Amino acid sequence: MNRHDIIVVGASAGGLDALQALVGKLPGDLAAAMFVVLHIGARPSVLPRILTAMGPLSAAHAEDGAPIRSGHIYVAPPDHHLLVERGHMWLSRGPRENLTRPAVDPLFRSAAEAYGPRVVGVILSGALSDGTAGFSAIKTYGGITIVQDPDEAQYPGMPTSALQYVDVDHCARIATISELLVRLSGPNPSGTKVSLPAEAERRQQAKEDTPVSNKFGLEQPVALTCPECGGSLRETIVDSMPYYTCHIGHRFAGPNMDLGQFERMENALAVALRTLNERAELCRRMAEVSRAKGHSFSMEKWDAASREAEDRAGVLRRFLEQDWARPGAIEEGVSQEL
């Protein structure tokens, strides 16, 4: 039987109870590493402590760049996507997916790309459809997919979505899922380092020069947006001049569109600079409050946050002070040529 030593689990509403029940039935010598995403957003989380208390497996928040070891549970920390690549895990504050960070799809997708048929994906209780696209990736790369029986799940949305759109391998209750994971993981000793399979190594080498997934990207936009209202724009050509019209009627000739975009960009950057400056001041004031109360740990945290905001404001200020290709300059050059 093929070993499946990478287990990725996704859950949302109602998922805490399901996770506790699942982990509580797993043995301490589980021959796989387990990765868990629960939709917690940016809120503080004690999920690793809760899962550790449920059974013999040790759970901890994942650490960026840490190696993967079997017999351990790695939990996505607040406000970070958890991803798997090249024999280690890493964290990303890339774009939210399915309205959340951490999200299930990035974990499933990255694990499938890195470990292919050695991956087992599990979707537990949750609303909406996070995890469905990730399940499709796991299936594409030859992994195994398992969903909690929607009749058992407190919130059946995520399991039901996966069953509707993906050819899921197993639909089972929690007790059966735990048994499946033990059987699928095989006899590998707990605590051993999980290495990268040869086929995944080849894939990773092939994409070394491509951007890492789940970072903010700058792909070509499908449509431009209106500088006035933010709505999508339709392009028309009138005597070789492009015009842009949004769906409520704002209309711009090409050069005017350039000016509108430039002003919107400057305003956005100015708001960002102002907010960073205000954050630095707020953190300074909170540090003073902590200092007055003798709370040295809180004071150090607030001081560090203030310095960070100041540093980033400084970078943005220097960026804004640089020369720009301002609107009108290109048109002036064209008129000189004529």
Query: Residues with catalytic annotation?
Result: 12, 39, 130
Task: Give exposure, 283-311, as e/b (b: 16+ Cβ within 10 Å).
Answer: bbebbeebeeeeeeeebeebbebbeebbe
Q: Two tokens at 136?
A: 């499709």
CA dist list (Å): 87 to 74, 94, 204, 218, 224? 14, 21, 11, 27, 40
Please state whether beta strands 233-238 and 170-172 pair in parallel, antiparallel, or not at all (unpaired): unpaired
Q: Is the torsion defined by CA of 69, 60, 97, 180 positive or negative?
A: positive
Instruction: Give me the helices (H) in 71-197, please.
Output: 104-115, 132-140, 157-165, 174-185
Strand ranges across the sheet with 241-246:
233-238, 241-246, 251-253
Of 65, 93, 66, nearest in space to 78 by CA: 93
* DSSP run (H or E) holding 11: strand 6-11
Helix then strand count (H, E) for the chain reads 10, 12
Q: How far apart are CA 8 and CA 124, in angstroms?
A: 11
